[in-house]
Amino acid sequence: MTTRLTDQLEQVQKDLLRDVNEVIEIGERLIELGVRLRREPWKWSIDWMDSSFPELDGVQPIEPELAEVLDKARLSWLLEEIRLLRKRAEELKKLAVA
């Protein structure tokens, strides 16, 4: 395997690991959010996160780091990036053996 291919494969593997870890973290946050919503759905609000309104009838805003996992576009992009990186890693491995 040439040094260039080795470097490319290492970078792809690092990027893949980073993205997989981010998706795992998103999954863990979704689980935490789901547990909260299952227990007390009446207690939480997403709409008021940036509002200066005080708590109303015990309703609390979901923390921004939990609410951000609901960003469908970001999650979709990450999943597509993981697929592309896995494909690229396989291609580099095939080139290495050739």
Which structure tokens are listed for 33?
């959010």
Q: Residue 60 pLDDT > 90, yes or no?
A: no
pTM (global) more than 0.85: no
Q: Residue 48 pLDDT > 70, yes or no?
A: no
Give the pLDDT mean for 47-72: 73
The rounded distance, in Å, linking the Cα atoms of 66 and 92 is 36
Which structure tokens are listed for 83?
């697929």
